[in-house]
Amino acid sequence: MKFSQYHFVDEIKDNLELMGFKKPTDIQYKCIPNILRGEDLLAIAQTGTGKTAAFAIPILHILQTRSHTKRPDGIKCLVMVPTRELALQIHEVFVSIGRNTRVTSYAVYGGVEQGPQIAKLERGIDVLIATPGRMFDLVNQGYIRLGRTDILILDEADHMLDLGFLKDIKDVIRFLPKKHQTLFFSATIDEEIKDLAYSLVKNPVRIQVSPKDPVSKNVDHSVMFVKMDDKRFFLERLVKENPDAKILVFVRTRVRCERVHAAMERVGITSLHMHGSKEQKERLAVLNEFRKGNVRLLIATDVSARGIDIADVDFVVNYDLPEYAETYVHRVGRTGRGTKRGIAYSFCDESEKSLLSAIEEYIGKKVKVLSVEQDDYKEVVDLSGGKTMDLKQILEELAPVQNKRYGVKKGKPRK
């Protein structure tokens, strides 16, 4: 069934056609009818399956057709998400699909001044996308009123639990009308997720689009065994052999992020880097540069693994294997989005083999191994433009990072 055959308002159909959306994905095909009927939903779907549009399309249609005259004031739909990046992404989807409709949406999140957010809220919106912390701040100050909100969407619910938002999720219910529709989306399902879902939704329709291999079939993912200190040489080779490719690299910590960025700069490779300690304005600027392709190499911690929809990422590199197996799925899901193919490489040191085993157990199969002959391995290292760093150089490189972390000003010794 094509989108043109659905009974959506013309504006939505036109926008979907302009965006190149011809047919719904599996999760969209299964969710849209239930949402239009006003049913509660528990939907399990891996990243990259199109679940944001699965709820954005029917919600926009419902709100646009609810009344042909002036609608009552107040927020009609609340979308709760774990991160500000995801809030912005979902807001963009609502804006794109809802262009030329009367439905207005807005995203609020922490890390930025609340003044502009308050001004927008006071002008009135229909759909609010929010992270829990900033949302409750504004609720308690009286700027967000949810008394007319009859649709609640919890997106990336498993990630919200990981971040400790369980109480916030349950608390929001007391601000909503007693009768409301709840849509619960999660990439994974376990007993904790089930318990939470069934405590919030009444007789939900359960929809699961989760193949045996949770990694998208559009992603060719493999692992190569590389010593920790040699990983930078292999990343350098990958970048130089694919100069036009958009490459997203994941590392485990903020310090590693800074170090890999510096290592690429030393060999003449321009890169962006992003981690949780950067200000929100900086993070948005970095994502914008990478999204536009102005800089084609982004090095990031797992703050970027979920919810960031960056078009046309050609390669994902697990420079460090993640500590949690499910994070692997979210990382590699940044490539191979929609109908496009993607490639993911993992660099695995001897010390990380237990993490690789956990990943293989989680996805239910072995990750393909790319064997590197000893001569080829030596060639990659020997031909690198980088220089081996001694301990003094490493400490000098880390000094700015540590000083920033501990608030040490230049010229003053750290206590």
Q: What is the pLDDT of residue 83?
A: 86
Q: What is the pLDDT of residue 305?
A: 52
- Per-10-residue mean pLDDT of the chain, 415 residues long, equals 90 93 90 94 80 95 76 85 88 95 94 92 94 93 93 89 82 91 85 80 80 74 95 95 94 93 94 83 85 92 66 92 86 81 94 94 90 90 66 49 49 45
The residues near 238 (Cβ < 8 Å, ≥ 6 apart) are: 247, 315, 317, 345
CA distance 156 to 166: 12
DSSP states of 271-296: -EEE-TTS-HHHHHHHHHHHHHTSS-
CATH homologous superfamily, domain 219-405: P-loop containing nucleotide triphosphate hydrolases (3.40.50.300)
How distant is the alpha carbon of residue 309 from its chain centre? Answer: 6
Q: What is the pLDDT of residue 394?
A: 44
Q: Among 343, 248, 223, which residue's Cα sits nearest to residue 300?
A: 248
User: Do residues 133 and 163 make contact, with C-beta atoms less than 8 angstroms apart?
Assistant: no
For CATH 3.40.50.300, list the domain ranges present in the chain.
3-209, 219-405
What CATH number has the domain spanning 3-209? 3.40.50.300
Question: pTM for this one?
Answer: 0.65
Q: What is the pLDDT of residue 138?
A: 95
Q: What is the pLDDT of residue 70?
A: 52
Q: Among 190, 250, 182, 186, which residue's Cα sits nearest to residue 47?
A: 186
CA distance 293 to 312: 9
Q: What is the pLDDT of residue 101?
A: 94
- For 351-370, b/e burial (b = at least 16 CB within 10 A) is ebeebbebbeebbeeebeee
